[in-house]
Structure 1
Amino acid sequence: MDLFAEALDGALVVRVGEQRIDAAIAIQFKDRMREIAAQPAPRVVLDLSAVQFVDSSGLGAIVSVMKFLAPARKLELSGLTPNVQKVFHLTRMDTVFTIHAAFPEQKLQDAV
C-alpha cells in the first residue's frame, strides 16, 4: 500500500500511490491511514489523483478513516478522477466529504 504523507498548508496531505482502492487492499489502506493519521494535524487531505477505481470496499475504507478522525479532525478529499468522482456522486458521499479539485502540487518531502 503506497501512501505518502506531508504537512502542507496546515494540513496533513496523504497521497495515494495506487490505481485502485478495492476489496483486495481496503483493509491495508484503512490500517495504514490510521497509522499515518496519528500525526497531529487539524485537517487530513486524502489526495486521490492517482486512483482510477474505487469499489464499495474501498469507499467503506475511506468512510471508516473519516469516522476514525471525527469529531476532532476532518477528512477532506482532493484530485478525484472522473470514475472515482462518479462513485462519490452516485453514493451521495460527495455531500458528506469536502472535495477539492486539487491540492497544491509540491514535491513530497516526508514520505511515510
Structure 2
Amino acid sequence: MQFRVSGFLPPIPAHTRARQPLTRPDGSNRQSRTARTTTPHHLTDRNTAVAESPNAVIPPPLLLKVEEAARLLNIGRTRVFDLIRTGQLKSVKIFGARRVPLTSIHAYIETLLQEPEAA
C-alpha cells in the first residue's frame, strides 16, 4: 500500500501556533492606554523618579539602604554590615529597616583619608 500526499496538511495545534499581533478595528496595532505595560512602583529605582518639570533637580536621599551605601563605597553589603557592627560607619534603624546616613559615609571616607597608608 502506497501513501500519497494529497496537499492536505493537518491543522496546527493552537498551543504551537505563533501568536499574531493584535489589531484594533481601525487597523492600527497601537495599544490602548490601559493595556500599556508600566513598571510597578516597587520595581523602580527611587533615585530615578521622574520630576514634575524636566528642569527640576531631585535631591539625593539623606538615608541610604545598606545596598546603596555598599554601591557608593564600592564594597559588598556584608562589609558594610561589618563596618556598622564595629562602629566605623554610623547607621540608624527606622521601623526595623537599617539605613546609613549620607553624612556618615562622607565621615567614613574622611577617616580613611586621615589614616596613614600601610606599606
TM range (shorter): under 0.3
The structure, 1 or 2, with the larger RCO (C-alpha pairs under 8 Å, 6+ apart) is: 1
Larger radius of gyration: 2
Q: Which structure: greater strand fraction?
A: 1
Give the TM-score normalised by the residue count of structure 2.
0.21
